[in-house]
Amino acid sequence: MKLNPNAPLPLYHQLADILLRRIRSGQYQPGKRIPSENQLAGQFGIGRPTVRQAIDLLVRRRYLSRRRGSGTYVCEPTREVDLFSLDGTSASFRKRGLPTDCRIISPLKLIKVNGNRENPFSGRSAYFLARLTTVNGNPTLIEDIYLHPELFPDLDSLNLDNQSLSEIAEERYYLKPLAGKQSFRIGYLEPGRARLLKITPTTPILEVHRYLHFDQSQNGVYAVLYCLTEKFAFSQFIGVSSNAA
């Protein structure tokens, strides 16, 4: 794999992408040392400062760690809370081998968020999209998602149908949620959205408000999830994962 000096993405960012793919594929394994800066510079035909920038980026994102006098090592993977993932709920269905489809029902766009005290973007601009998840052909979940435009620049240039937001955040923006919070309540949908879930507007559903925090910003992502609980029980296990069963 080669770097493209004519691409709009800086060389150090391209190299960081390659190193991250090697980490994710297992070519660079947790706890093991990666090639030295000199080796990577020779392999890709670039200077050490560019290599150092790429490694610095992955160190800041906790994929790599430097050990004085020893080299750079792949960090051991942390046990993330799926609950605080950008697409933990949909991912939990897929992990159980259930046929899942995620369809955009309100295309991503930059909007001015109207007054809503619960929405951390109230009175400001945010990227917004809504998506519908079906499981085994049954509509199960609607999500309204708001994303910080400075954390996710040019997000509207991507096709997000059936794409993992968490993978996009990690691989394109080097972002991982560090913490978050959720609140739960009983909610109801307006008629158009109720039809998408094949229920009536008077049918009670589980409404979840999710806030995700990043190094660069608190409340970098805010989402409201509307979950049908007739066939799946949504549960939360703090410190382990959130699953749909």
Domain boundaries, the chain: 11-74, 82-244
What does the pLDDT look like over 47-62, one tens digit per residue?
999 999 999 999 988 8
Whether 74 has a pLDDT exceeding 90, the answer reads yes
Give the confidence band of 96 by pLDDT, cuts at 50, 70, 90: low
Percent of the chain with pLDDT over 90: 52
pLDDT tens track for 182-237 = 899 999 999 999 999 999 999 999 999 999 998 888 999 999 999 887 655 554 44
pLDDT at 86: 57
CA separation for the pair 180, 221 (Å, rounded): 9
Q: How far apart are CA 187 and CA 189, in angstroms?
A: 7
Given the candidates 3.40.1410.10, 3.30.750.24, 1.10.10.60, 3.40.50.740, the CATH classification of the domain at 82-244 is 3.40.1410.10
**pLDDT of 129 strictly over 80:** yes
Q: Cα separation of 159 and 172, whole Å?
A: 13
| Right CATH for 11-74 from 3.30.9.10, 3.40.1710.10, 1.10.10.10, 1.20.1050.10 | 1.10.10.10
Would you give the distance in Å from CA 73 to the centre of its chain?
24
d(CA 185, CA 224): 11
Instruction: Indicate the burial class of 88 (C-beta count within 10 angstroms; 0-12, 13-18, 19 or more).
Output: buried
For range 21-35, the mean pLDDT: 92
Model's pTM, two decimal places? 0.67
